[in-house]
Structure 1
Amino acid sequence: MTEIRAIRDAARDESARDGAGRIETRRDPAAEGGDAAGTDLLPHSIEAEQQLLGAILTNNDVYDRIANLVRAEHFFEPVHRRIFDIAAARIQKNALASPVTLKGFLEDDAGLKELGGPAYLARLAGAAISALAARDYAQMIYDYAVRRELIALGRDISERATRIEVDSEPKDQIVEAEQRLYKLSEQGVTERGFVSFLRAVTLAVKSANAAYEREGGLSGVSTGLVDLDKKLGGLHPSDLLILAGRPSMGKTSLATNIAFNIAKAYRRGRRPDGSEGAVEGGVVGFFSLEMSSEQLAARVLSEASEVPSEQIRRGDMTEQEFRRFVEAAKTLENCPLYIDDTPALPISQVAARCRRLKRTHGLDVVFVDYLQLLRGTGKGDNRVQEIAEISMGLKALAKELSIPVVALSQLSRQVESREDKRPQLSDLRESGSIEQDADVVMFVYRDEYYREREKPGEDNLEAMAKWQETMERVHGKAEVIIGKQRHGPIGTVELSFEGRFTRFGNLVRPWQQDGDGF
């Protein structure tokens, strides 16, 4: 310690003789990929880099406060990158990083020799003003690094756009540029680290208070389906909800109904925490990878106007039905439901478009129809790994934007081979990752669909009578089976289903038919 103090004192004396205390550096143009004049034009702060390195070499605990924000490649000066890299490696091994301990690793460094050799390390430590400002310096270094990345990205986009090549379509260049921007934005997502129990408790109390102020209703966004809300408590921020079912069960219809209910109920105002936003319902983003936006809108209008969807598709409507259809369209034209029907979207694009929508119009819930039609980055060796990447990406998106994400999913054919066709968690395709990442897994099941296909022959009167009795019991009914719920009970919720309008609704019980229903 005596030797370090002597070096530091000598460095302070030298700085005092210098007059300004500034440490001069000379950059290596080759390391920056260009000439010195060109690199000088890029945003940077040599002084901030020197202050941060000096603070780390003086007090190694500073590194723990800035490690989740700054990496070696964020430094503009090549020598500073190497100093930070070696210091970080030693600190991570619980070894001391100081001018003396780093000297042996950098004695032969050509860049450091130009700056005065190991004595430059002592000057860095000696010129460090305060460790308290280290986080500010780190943020400044990171911000400048991002600006340089943006400049480089802009130049690359411009250069590629000027080169006219057969295998490089403008549309492909736009997608690639968006993906690179997404990766760049992801670098800024720093780790939140530990949160005190006091803060965690405060957040839990705020959530409970929000539910209490709604008279014991919901802490999340209402689906518009009373029994489902009772089971789920609404759709909660940061949750990934999987809605699965076999073809023709109505999973897209249910998702569309819930999305429409949320958007229709949207009311903006001041929340209990003082922020501005949705106090009822919400702004909905709907990724329809299977159906076009027109087809999806037709489903919503079919429900709102009570005109069968097949009649809308054929244009087979009476004048009164067409008038109802147009009036419903006018009523809902300002509904905050945004549809993206781009096919085969990569998960990175989904995240980027959700951020953009939240920034421009707000965003409270996202629906994805359906999960298996999304694409990963292509780095996975097989489809199971790709699905794992997609489900993890959707969960990360829910947490990042603090919104519920509802993703539809297919079920494997093994459901059809069982006598009881009600789905189970094991029926999910690539179920390992989906089941693990999801906070809620729900299955849509309509017994009526299967019973219709069991109709006996007309000559078997006894079987026909039994079948008709069964059909009367299951007609117009659907089940939402909650197979997993991280924060609540599992079980079955019964809903009504009107196939003509592809509409799910609250099931009226026998004791509610006298006017005391929903």
Structure 2
Amino acid sequence: MSEICNIEVEQLLLGALLINNEAFGLISGQLLPEHFYEPLHKAIYDNASKMIRAGKIASPITIKSYLDENAKVGGLTVSQYLARLAAEAMPAMMAPTYANEIYDLAVDRSLINGAEDLIRAVRNRAPNVSPKELGEQAISAITTALSDEDTIYGATSFGEACDDALAATSQAYSGKKTVGVSYRLPPLERLIGPLCGGQLIILGGATKQGKSALAGQIAMGAAIDGFPVWMYSGEMTAMELAMRESSRDTKISVNRQKRGKVVEADYERLMQFRNANRDRPFYIQENRLTLDLVMERARAFVQRKGKGLIVVDHIGLIDRTKSEKSLADWEFGQVVTMKLKQLARELDCPVLGCAQLKKNVFNENRGPLNEKFLQSILNRRPRYTDLIGAVERDADHVIIPFRPFVFLKEHEPSEHSDLHLLWEEMVNDQKNKAKLVLALSREANWPAEVEMGWDGPTTTFYETGSAGESELIRREAISNPMALL
């Protein structure tokens, strides 16, 4: 493979670029770092590209600090090598010619690699692998090697995007594969559909409203459907999450499991759940991580296990670096959601992030404790502006679970008052009820809400309605759009 390169041409191009940064504009739409053969040349071009795009000057002096000074190239130090590149530089107008040759040689290497991989695969073909499969893989590799001709910095043409969209729809129509990640919560899926690659979904919620429970339920549903799931759990341990998920299936509460308040039949059900689910592709990161580490682990997970679902519970429990400690909670939240959206786009996976609501958001403009105030709790609807900071700005969907029961319990009237009887009726009526509010969406009509059932002992949202009767989805007609703010 060593003869499929031209080191001298790579040197001439880099020299021209370091002497005259304007040459970058002539080649930036075609040439990427991976097209270079020499590793040091890849590093030089990569760092020079980043500096020039950032409005800085890339020269032998400014770029050397980004390279390994201890590296030796042909007996020269990095500083000496950079100086040599500049000294032997050719005019910038020659840059496109050099770039074309470097690119063509990179394609040649890719084609040869694909051919050699095919030969090895054929010679070592397993009995359960057909020759046709190997041929299709080879065709895919060749297509990938040649497809860069139609891209600019990895951009996809609209024609290719239309092809992909039609193919995905065709697969979904034929029942072979749905678009995106399914998660076994029909009421929510009817509201927003499956979770798709590139999406950031924010689950907002006040304390004890069920946002972590909902996140876990979605994650487990995706894993049961075969999608790899990586969950950053800053609040609960992996063991606690496993107990919660088993409680949903077995109806044995986490409290009973922790205290050992089970009979032999209960233990048998717990064992059956363990045996049925121990191999699910569900991985829990329970150690606290910084944002950079969260993104790094998520990338590694997708690389090893494939595309699936990334869950962050919750964004306020991500550790901060030294430079981030001075940020207010709302500022840090915006940084996190911006990065998580970038991660979703980069990995082509949906990312689900949990976020807190502002404190006392449901006690705003509170009046005296009377029937009107109690009714206002039932009529209150969470809004995306209730989230801490502007974390919704990068979200494709904002979903907020809402259980009036929790807030009613916080405002119990005097036991001997006339209002207490009304309060008791409201509490009993709302005990097993919940709503999932679609507070913001880039794709679906919002605001909207879906009525759900809530089982407190197992922290489970479930579909309500009799057999054959779908749950109520009520969309609020808002004549004044500013009311959403």
Q: TM-score range by the shorter chain?
A: 0.5 to 0.7
In structure 2, distance between residues paired with 1:511 and 1:115:
77
Give the aligned partner of residue 284 of structure 1. Answer: 229
Give the aligned partner of residue 36 of structure 1. Answer: none
How far apart are 1:137 and its partner, in Å? 6.8
Give the aligned partner of residue 313 of structure 1. Answer: 258
| Cα separation, partners in 2 of 1:76 and 1:125, compared to 1, 3 Å | farther
* SS in structure 2 at match of 1:285: strand
User: Which residue, out of 399, 408, 413, partners 2:354?
Assistant: 408
In structure 2, distance between residues paired with 1:51 and 1:205:
44
- Residue 507 of structure 1 pairs with residue 467 of structure 2: no
How far apart are 1:505 and its partner, in Å? 1.3
| Cα separation, partners in 2 of 1:75 and 1:446, compared to 1, 3 Å | same
How far apart are 1:307 and its partner, in Å? 0.2
Bigger shift: 48-57 or 381-390? 48-57
Give the aligned partner of residue 439 of structure 1. Answer: 396
Equivalent residue letter for 2:28: D
Give the aligned partner of residue 235 of structure 1. Answer: 195
- Residue 341 of structure 1 pairs with residue 303 of structure 2: no
In structure 1, distance between residues paired with 2:84 and 2:323:
42
How far apart are 1:193 and its partner, in Å? 5.9
How far apart are 1:440 and its partner, in Å? 0.9
User: Which residue, out of 120, 130, 133, partners 2:101?
Assistant: 133
In structure 1, distance between residues paired with 2:392 and 2:95:
54
| Cα separation, partners in 2 of 1:218 and 1:117, compared to 1, 3 Å | closer
Conservation of the 8 A alpha-carbon contact between 1:376 and 1:389? no
Equivalent residue letter for 1:429: I
* SS in structure 2 at match of 1:500: coil
| Cα separation, partners in 2 of 1:121 and 1:293, compared to 1, 3 Å | closer
Q: TM-score, normalised by structure 1?
A: 0.63
- Residue 424 of structure 1 pairs with residue 383 of structure 2: yes
Conservation of the 8 A alpha-carbon contact between 1:207 and 1:219? yes
* SS in structure 2 at match of 1:482: strand
In structure 2, distance between residues paired with 1:66 and 1:379:
36
Conservation of the 8 A alpha-carbon contact between 1:262 and 1:283? yes
In structure 2, distance between residues paired with 1:205 and 1:116:
48
How far apart are 1:61 and its partner, in Å? 6.6
Give the aligned partner of residue 309 of structure 2. Answer: 365
Structure 2: stretches of 5+ with no match in the other structure? 58-78, 109-150, 365-375, 471-485
How far apart are 1:130 and its partner, in Å? 5.6
Equivalent residue letter for 1:237: G
Conservation of the 8 A alpha-carbon contact between 1:55 and 1:130? no
| Cα separation, partners in 2 of 1:378 and 1:436, compared to 1, 3 Å | farther
* SS in structure 2 at match of 1:512: coil
Give the aligned partner of residue 210 of structure 2. Answer: 250
In structure 2, distance between residues paired with 1:116 and 1:61:
19
In structure 1, distance between residues paired with 2:400 and 2:270:
31
Give the aligned partner of residue 13 of structure 2. Answer: 52
Share of identical aligned residues, percent? 26
Q: TM-score, normalised by structure 2?
A: 0.67
Please give the residue correspondences for 1:365-404 in structure 2 after superposition, counting only pairs within 5 Å: 365-380=309-324, 382-383=327-328, 384-404=330-350
Bigger shift: 495-504 or 203-212? 203-212
In structure 2, distance between residues paired with 1:115 and 1:455:
81
Give the aligned partner of residue 439 of structure 2. Answer: 483
- Residue 350 of structure 1 pairs with residue 294 of structure 2: yes
In structure 2, distance between residues paired with 1:124 and 1:511:
71
Give the aligned partner of residue 265 of structure 1. Answer: 225
In structure 2, distance between residues paired with 1:116 and 1:488:
55
Conservation of the 8 A alpha-carbon contact between 1:219 and 1:233? no
In structure 1, distance between residues paired with 2:294 and 2:322:
15
* SS in structure 2 at match of 1:409: strand
Conservation of the 8 A alpha-carbon contact between 1:50 and 1:124? no
- Residue 208 of structure 1 pairs with residue 169 of structure 2: yes
Specify the structure having the higher radius of gyration (Cα).
1
Give the aligned partner of residue 430 of structure 2. Answer: 474
Equivalent residue letter for 2:433: K
How far apart are 1:342 and its partner, in Å? 0.7
How far apart are 1:312 and its partner, in Å? 0.8
Equivalent residue letter for 2:195: L
| Cα separation, partners in 2 of 1:64 and 1:423, compared to 1, 3 Å | same
In structure 2, distance between residues paired with 1:326 and 1:339:
20
Conservation of the 8 A alpha-carbon contact between 2:12 and 2:90? no
Deviations 1:331-352 (A, max 9, x none): 2111111111012x11111111
In structure 1, distance between residues paired with 2:95 and 2:381:
71
In structure 2, distance between residues paired with 1:355 and 1:124:
38
- Residue 463 of structure 1 pairs with residue 419 of structure 2: yes
In structure 2, distance between residues paired with 1:452 and 1:440:
29
- Residue 65 of structure 1 pairs with residue 29 of structure 2: yes
How far apart are 1:203 and its partner, in Å? 2.8
In structure 2, distance between residues paired with 1:128 and 1:458:
84
Please give the residue correspondences for 1:20-39 in structure 2 after superposition, counting only pairs within 5 Å: none
* SS in structure 2 at match of 1:335: coil
Bigger shift: 320-329 or 299-308? 320-329
- Residue 220 of structure 1 pairs with residue 180 of structure 2: yes
How far apart are 1:374 and its partner, in Å? 1.1
How far apart are 1:446 and its partner, in Å? 0.4
Please give the residue correspondences for 1:114-133 in structure 2 after superposition, counting only pairs within 5 Å: 120-121=88-89, 131-133=99-101
* SS in structure 1 at match of 2:353: strand
Equivalent residue letter for 2:431: H
Conservation of the 8 A alpha-carbon contact between 1:240 and 1:394? yes
Conservation of the 8 A alpha-carbon contact between 2:195 and 2:350? yes
Give the aligned partner of residue 481 of structure 2. Answer: none
